[in-house]
Amino acid sequence: MYLVACGVLLAVATVLNLRDRRMLALTLAVGVNVFYSVPAQSQAAFYGTCIALELMVLTVAVFYTSRASCIAIYASCALVIVHFMGWTLDGSPPLSPYRVLVKLLECAQLVACVALSPVLTPKLRNRDAAPT
């Protein structure tokens, strides 16, 4: 169910971000991060690959800035910390905080790519707010 929801979010984000190449690059980096087949031969290979993928998203967000870069940077940093904690504390039980936090933060990255797309951003602005 989680992968279906992420797939739908990724498809919507990709369609909404076709006009902005920076947002499209960030969306695709987050999509690769979510759907990459992580090797499970050893604990070091699993968590090391997860951390490397988060560093890839972090690199795209930092050096190829877009509207959702700030949120992606915060979520990627949090995911690196969560993956490191999962590595050291053995986050293998199905309902461990590691697994729940990873799913929430990855969905947050995809939701940020959808919400801050060039199609939805003008609609989400508060036009009645006083100028600052």
Angle at 104 between CA 103 and CA 109, to 5 degrees: 100
Angle formed by the axes of helices 69-89 and 97-115, nearest 10° = 170
The per-residue pLDDT for range 60-108, each reduced to its tens digit, is: 999 999 989 999 999 999 999 999 988 888 766 767 788 889 999 999 9
pTM here?
0.85
Domain boundaries, the chain: 21-119
CA 110, 117, 69 angle in degrees (round to 5)?
60
Q: pLDDT tens for residues 1-50?
A: 889 999 999 999 999 999 999 999 999 999 999 999 888 888 889 999 99
